Structure 1
Amino acid sequence: MQAPSAAELLQRMHSLPPAQTAAIDALLMELDPSIWVPQPGPQTLALNSPADIVFYGGSAGGGKTDLLLGLALTQQERSIVFRREAVQLIGLEERMTEILGTRDGYNGQDHLWRLPGKRVLELGSVQRPEDWVKYQGRPHDFKGFDEITHFTELQFRTLIGWMRTDNPHVRQRVVAAGNPPTSAEGEWVKRFWAPWLDPQHPNPAKPGELRWYIVNAKGEDQEVPGAEPVLVGDEMVQPKSRTFIPSRVDDNLFLTSTGYKATLQALPEPLRSQMLRGDFNAGTSDPVWQLIPTEWVKAAQARWTEREPKGVMTVLGFDPSRGGQDKSSAARRHGNWFDRLVTAPGAVIKDGPSAAAFVAPLLRDGAVVAVDSIGIGSSALDFLTGLGLNVHPVVGSEGSSLMDAAGQLRFRNKRAEMYWRMREALSPTAADPIALPPDSELLGDLTAPRYKVVTMGRDAAIQISSKDDIRAVLGRSPDKGDSVAMTFVADLPMPKAKPREPGWRERLSQRTVISRRSHMAE
């Protein structure tokens, strides 16, 4: 006779009278008095993973919230678990109450739970992009994120940057739990854990495998071979390890007997693939007023191929940084083909001279520089002009006299003009649609703007999200997207053709003519 599975035993226990269930619970507590025990399989693997930053989940029902609370109960001293909105903390409060059997020790006003063993759990929320500042400098040895795709990348990076503890015997760790993103705003998660989630990654990783990363001099993530310190500039940097451990509803014994899997199976696509199978590449539906459809951008990146020679450079879009977390970005356009974008952190490009020094070496063929001329951009404009370069200032708030390709809608300002013209160039119906380099940040930048139709006098006009609005969505500045969009501003001057050096045949011909004239003069 085959022994029953754990799921069958659990189902039988649910059918027992309450008195018998209580007796079994008491017996189990005598055998193992732990407050919380991980389920075998992925949950245990995630609990014991040596990675500094773990992403656990990928599909609904895998015991993600329990893992976060269980770590705070059994492994860590001072923990904090975040949800994006404060109202979402109710689910964490209720689940912890179920595990403990009481709310003793919980301060609902401060969302602070004093747990057995002198452990402390804080529940936090960061609804607005800048709310991470509330937790700046607060010591925690464990930081958990419930539904990580609801957070912006900037929130996640800044919150984990303040990890610290006074106890050298307590491990510091980050665990992010969540499902595949259902909107473009959460696409950064696929980039952060690209070796596990991006099917196009050149060096894919297995579930639970460790990969090591540093932030390089450009402010970008860089994978390194191992845990050994790496020299960045004049400083030795300690790499941090990451991993991804997938889980599904089938891994959760407590949900297999409740019919929850059937609920997930009944979801419409792409939610069914995302929530049931943890498919990070299942299509997401765009909001109605999304300016550029996600599939258009992905198609433009899919038709991109490396070029050599690259052809004549027609325009370079330059978006200078505003300091801090922003980056300066340069988009080099060669007709309808864009070269890979070049960026530099705000700490490097901080004034006009450094901005000009960044742009000048990237130019060729007398291409015009379309530069955002607000703030530091005005200084960059002056220095670029002083170098004798072909420069065109772009002020997004200025008015536009153009209309869309259909001749029906005007543009509220230059910002709407350049983004809408880019949208028309990305359209599948365009005669010669543009090709964009594969870049997940660029994808996020171009799919974040929204638009609406407003009244301008007697006409209808297109108005799009401001840069500050997009920053609130992404948690960062859309520097790459803006640099590409600026190449679509109307009335750009033509490239300044430099005098062409004569080829060897021409030089030889000229010498022959001079020689003949000299001979005839004699």
Structure 2
Amino acid sequence: MSECAALCGFLSKRERARLDGLLKGVWVPLSGPQRTAYDSEADVLLYGGAAGGGKTDLLLGLALGAHRRSILFRREFAQLKAIEDRAREMTGPGAHYSATRHTWQLPGGRSLELGAVQRPGDERKYQGRPHDLKAFDEITHFTEAQFRFLIGWNRSAEPGRRCRVVAAGNPPTSAQGDWVIRYWAPWLDRQHPNPAEPGELRWFATIDGKEVEVESGAAFDHGGERIEPRSRSFIRARVEDNPFLIAAGYRATLQSLPEPLRSQMLFGDFAAKQADDPWQVIPTEWVLAAQARWQECPPGPLDTLGVDVARGGRDRTVVTARHGPWFAHPESFPGAETPDGQAVVALLVPLLAAQAAVQVDVIGVGAAVYDAARARGLHAVPLNGAAGSAARDRSGQLGFANARAEWWWRLREALDPSAGDGLALPPDRELLADLTAPRWRLASAGILVERKDEIIARIGRSPDKGDSLVYAHARPLVPGQGLLDFLREEIARG
């Protein structure tokens, strides 16, 4: 390619213009990772890492040359402008673009649609619309729920037509994109017990509502259902593989970025530390430090179960056991298994020790669980996050707008490395994302932590594991019971 570029210097302006016209619409992937990604056999591929690796070109190139009906998503419509411009450069004669429908009609009967899902729920506009290529640019900007919903219609009625999902993007710059590391964990999670090499195929299937890695792509029977695994892979993109950007000096631009953005964009380091939001309730480093202590801190006797009850749909009931400063891995149960209070209590009883408290959110469906636990003779403690709080923060300067804000702030103070309680949290990436998701602001009544529905609207899922752990850590003031009496009872229970 460099030799061709050198020879172009001997052409006249008219000859170069003629050559440009002949080559327009003829796109071939760069040799190296881009070519490997183009030819990958993975059903679901992530091509990502460093900036400038030709990620958008790969997605457009697949739509132009390898698939018949394609759709390319960005999170916001405004972000599609650059893709439209690049598509115009890559398409040749016979390609027609509808700006109102965001659709390209391409030679050979191919089509490419550009789509966006700016708000959670926008993905339903694309329900039931099949494409043999589902492509995602800047995948970490999407929520996991949006991604999983949209790829559900990755299909074609044409016999033998290759169907695949290709996502492209840089490492997440906040914990909200951390789901990408979980989804492609064998390649991106340094703690994964069985790491995979770039380009290696791994197969995954959903068994009893839980996604698991399986040995091969061979179909198998389970519970009367024929299950066909889908393959995944990851191929790392590097700016060094793009001779055009290297020649333009783009590497120097990336080298000038501040950390951790420099490591993320220059080296494509998915393990680089992410920048916290300035109004994040719990700093990411504090949670990571608590997770690092988990293996070394022996658990004490069980004293509390924190219960976040499913609210229907795809929600989960999550239970977190607290053993003094040590917290066990959250246990998740599909909402279908916990349709009422009795069913939830039946799951709790095997997990309980004598006198251990069951602390459950009683707003909404949790009230039935509390009633069923009391009827069963369990030490049930009601948690009402909307209730008022007379407490102050550790400095004594700030109050709390409600009990929910108090509980989250108490966990923050307990995780503070300089004056905390040395809590040990399980090394769970989803828990890390949940605990670092909430934001706070100072209201007239004191510290106010954003509501759960606000968090769901922002990150696209319910932070069930985080809420369950907060409930396990909470030390509520029971209505009608003096603070000293409550503390005496807690001491008596050990």
Which TM-score band applies after superposition, normalised by the shorter structure?
over 0.9
- In the alignment, the residues of structure 2 paired with residue 355 and residue 320 of structure 1 have an alpha-carbon distance, to the nearest angstrom, of 8
The residue type paired with residue 13 of structure 2 is P
With over 3 angstroms needed to count, the CA separation of the structure-2 counterparts of 1:15 and 1:251, relative to structure 1, is farther
- In the alignment, the residues of structure 1 paired with residue 255 and residue 297 of structure 2 have an alpha-carbon distance, to the nearest angstrom, of 45
Out of 461, 474, 479, which is 2:464 matched to?
479
SS in 1 for 2:407: helix
Look up the match of 1:336: 325
Look up the match of 1:182: 173
% identity of equivalent residues: 54
Per-residue CA deviations over 1:111-136 (Å, capped at 9, x if unaligned) read: 11111111111110000011111111
**Gapped regions of structure 1 (runs ≥ 5):** 1-5, 499-522
Look up the match of 2:480: none
CA displacement at 1:254 relative to structure 2: 2.5
With over 3 angstroms needed to count, the CA separation of the structure-2 counterparts of 1:23 and 1:475, relative to structure 1, is same
CA displacement at 1:431 relative to structure 2: 4.8
Out of 287, 294, 311, which is 1:297 matched to?
287
- In the alignment, the residues of structure 2 paired with residue 294 and residue 8 of structure 1 have an alpha-carbon distance, to the nearest angstrom, of 49
The residue type paired with residue 183 of structure 1 is S
Whether the aligned pair in 1 keeps the contact of 2:322 and 2:473 (CA below 8 Å) is no
Whether the aligned pair in 2 keeps the contact of 1:322 and 1:346 (CA below 8 Å) is yes
Within 5 A, what are the aligned runs for 1:435-454? 435-454=424-443
CA displacement at 1:332 relative to structure 2: 0.2
TM-score normalized with structure 1 length = 0.88
SS in 1 for 2:336: coil
- In the alignment, the residues of structure 1 paired with residue 86 and residue 231 of structure 2 have an alpha-carbon distance, to the nearest angstrom, of 30
With over 3 angstroms needed to count, the CA separation of the structure-2 counterparts of 1:16 and 1:281, relative to structure 1, is farther
Within 5 A, what are the aligned runs for 1:53-452? 53-101=44-92, 104-217=95-208, 219-305=209-295, 310-452=299-441
- In the alignment, the residues of structure 2 paired with residue 319 and residue 232 of structure 1 have an alpha-carbon distance, to the nearest angstrom, of 30
CA displacement at 1:17 relative to structure 2: 4.6
**Greater Cα offset, 360-369 or 77-86:** 360-369
CA displacement at 1:350 relative to structure 2: 2.1
Whether the aligned pair in 1 keeps the contact of 2:297 and 2:326 (CA below 8 Å) is no
Per-residue CA deviations over 1:201-230 (Å, capped at 9, x if unaligned) read: 11110000011111232x332111111234
CA displacement at 1:23 relative to structure 2: 5.2
Whether the aligned pair in 2 keeps the contact of 1:312 and 1:365 (CA below 8 Å) is no
SS in 2 for 1:242: strand
Whether the aligned pair in 1 keeps the contact of 2:95 and 2:107 (CA below 8 Å) is no
With over 3 angstroms needed to count, the CA separation of the structure-2 counterparts of 1:364 and 1:307, relative to structure 1, is farther
**Greater Cα offset, 397-406 or 13-22:** 13-22
Whether the aligned pair in 2 keeps the contact of 1:180 and 1:280 (CA below 8 Å) is yes
- In the alignment, the residues of structure 2 paired with residue 340 and residue 126 of structure 1 have an alpha-carbon distance, to the nearest angstrom, of 33
CA RMSD of aligned residues (A): 2.2
Per-residue CA deviations over 1:349-407 (Å, capped at 9, x if unaligned) read: 22222211222211113210110112221111121111110101111111111111111
**Greater Cα offset, 139-148 or 359-368:** 359-368
- In the alignment, the residues of structure 1 paired with residue 148 and residue 185 of structure 2 have an alpha-carbon distance, to the nearest angstrom, of 16
SS in 2 for 1:347: helix
Look up the match of 1:507: none
Per-residue CA deviations over 1:410-465 (Å, capped at 9, x if unaligned) read: 11111101100000111101353201001111011011100011112xxxx10011
The residue type paired with residue 222 of structure 1 is V
CA displacement at 1:160 relative to structure 2: 0.7
With over 3 angstroms needed to count, the CA separation of the structure-2 counterparts of 1:64 and 1:464, relative to structure 1, is same
SS in 1 for 2:171: coil
- In the alignment, the residues of structure 1 paired with residue 13 and residue 90 of structure 2 have an alpha-carbon distance, to the nearest angstrom, of 18
Per-residue CA deviations over 1:88-127 (Å, capped at 9, x if unaligned) read: 1111111110112569521111111111111111110000
SS in 1 for 2:203: strand
SS in 1 for 2:73: strand
Look up the match of 1:514: none
- In the alignment, the residues of structure 1 paired with residue 430 and residue 325 of structure 2 have an alpha-carbon distance, to the nearest angstrom, of 20
Whether the aligned pair in 2 keeps the contact of 1:141 and 1:164 (CA below 8 Å) is yes
With over 3 angstroms needed to count, the CA separation of the structure-2 counterparts of 1:118 and 1:107, relative to structure 1, is same
TM-score normalized with structure 2 length = 0.93
The residue type paired with residue 14 of structure 2 is A
With over 3 angstroms needed to count, the CA separation of the structure-2 counterparts of 1:67 and 1:15, relative to structure 1, is farther
The residue type paired with residue 458 of structure 2 is V
- In the alignment, the residues of structure 2 paired with residue 253 and residue 224 of structure 1 have an alpha-carbon distance, to the nearest angstrom, of 39
Look up the match of 2:449: 464
**Greater Cα offset, 278-287 or 48-57:** 278-287
**Gapped regions of structure 2 (runs ≥ 5):** 478-485
Per-residue CA deviations over 1:456-501 (Å, capped at 9, x if unaligned) read: 2xxxx10011101111222110000000011232336656989xxx
SS in 1 for 2:381: strand
SS in 2 for 1:463: strand
- In the alignment, the residues of structure 2 paired with residue 9 and residue 311 of structure 1 have an alpha-carbon distance, to the nearest angstrom, of 70
